[in-house]
Amino acid sequence: MIFSNIFFMFRFLTVVLLIYYIVPYKYKNGIITIASLIFYSWGEVKYFPIMIASTVVDFFSSQYIERNRGDIKKMRRGLACSMVFNMGCLIFFKYTDFFISNINTFAGTSIPLLRFPLPLGISFYTFQTMSYTIDVYRGKVPAEKNIINFSAFVTMFPQLIAGPIVLYSDINEKLNTHEGRITLDGINEGIKLFIFGLGKKVLIANNVGALWTDIETMGFGMVSTPLAWLGIIAYSLQIYFDFSGYSLMAIGLGKMLGFDFPQNFNLPYISKSVTEFWRRWHMTLSGWFREYVYIPLGGNRKGLKRQILNMLVVWFLTGFWHGADWNFMLWGLYYFMLLAIEKVFLLKWLQKHPVPARIYTLLTIAVGWAIFYITDLGMLGRFIVKMFSFSGGVSAGYYFRNYFVSILVGILCSTPLTIRFYEKYKNNNVVMIPVLTAVFLLSVAYLVDSTYNPFIYFRF
């Protein structure tokens, strides 16, 4: 089940919210848990037990840590139980076939692949539950004593499948609050954010993404240099509006339920460096790696060489987290290289020259998206050569004329203009109601006439 779906919006969500608002506060977390389990099992019922097991393991691991506070050996035992189980599930389902196929390639063996489908959302909910157990171990949060409350935290359907990655400390007060969680202002704000997120996904991401699909269909090696750039601009817009649209819908749904999820995107394409870009893009994932990998490794406290090494570890893991293919590891190492260069000497120059800085950032990010998307390394190489060789191929003219409006809208909505509009008019019903109505009706009309359109980050 996905948010940008007629069934979800007009049946599932309507029924869940109606029940949720009617029942007494002490039952609300139970309603969230039940609704979330139905939401998840709708399309992934066979992997339902894995998420339940992750919830149970982390609940009791944290209880064990809390009971043995002060006994470091027992605390580590509880933490290890959580880490081994969650990382074991993630590695087994996401990376086993990758390891087997590479062993077969390099060792000449013929070990059969397992071909297990990737459980929906496993990369997100395992990180979320591990962060909770680590925080309990560190003493940053108390262990949750109510398994229903904890289950609501882990399974909460707005952010279950593709984030934002919500830490327990972000919502634990609301989870245990029986009064004042739900307000009319919160519901109102949540509806607005959900509709704008829906518009991002349906009206912008899906339309500009059609150009990239056309290019992929014809073959990446067939395009001319202008068309290669037009295509990668389209994909850059598609992945941004697809993922930020999902995140905005999730944040809006969270507000309807009475929770404040963290921001996940902050206009990343206005960045003046790659360093700034990663402070604005998928902020909860970057924050997770900073808090639970980079800082424990020493962060920037042990000199420049150690800091660069820590960055290498983080970015290798970030690439590998996104997928079990060599292009994702290459993507992670590509960003490590750029960030390391900026850290050593380039960042100061970029800060003094904002126009070249923006051009450099957009160009490097575009190349990064090519590496991110194209899993065949040979095809990736040919496409990047096309981007920079000024070679011939299929002309960009037809596609430019057909997609000009969609790309222009995407570019304009990537700037602060939309944020300024929203902040200025969000409390002005004369302006906001017609805008929201138009976005919602256009989105619904598009969905009625379209086929299944999953979010890009569902594959991770």
As annotated, the active-site residues are: 322
DSSP letter for 343, please: I
Gyration radius of the chain's alpha carbons? 23
Tokens coding 304: 């420049």
What are the two backbone dihedrals, phi and then psi, of residue 46, each rounded to the nearest 5 degrees?
-70, -20
Q: Give the number of C-alpha atoms closer than 13 A to the C-alpha of residue 266, restricted to the C-beta side.
A: 11
Number of H helices, E strands in the chain: 23, 0
Angle at 333 between CA 345 and CA 224, to 5 degrees: 95
What are the CA-CA distances from residue 60 to residues 81, 82, 149, 160, 165 (Å)?
Answer: 10, 9, 13, 21, 21
Asked if residues 157 and 40 have their Cβ atoms less than 8 Å apart, the reply is yes
Phi, psi of 54 (to 5 degrees): -60, -40
Burial label for 386, CB within 10 Å (0-12, 13-18, 19+), is buried
Type of residue numbered 59: F
CB-based burial label for 305 (10 Å; 0-12, 13-18, 19+): exposed
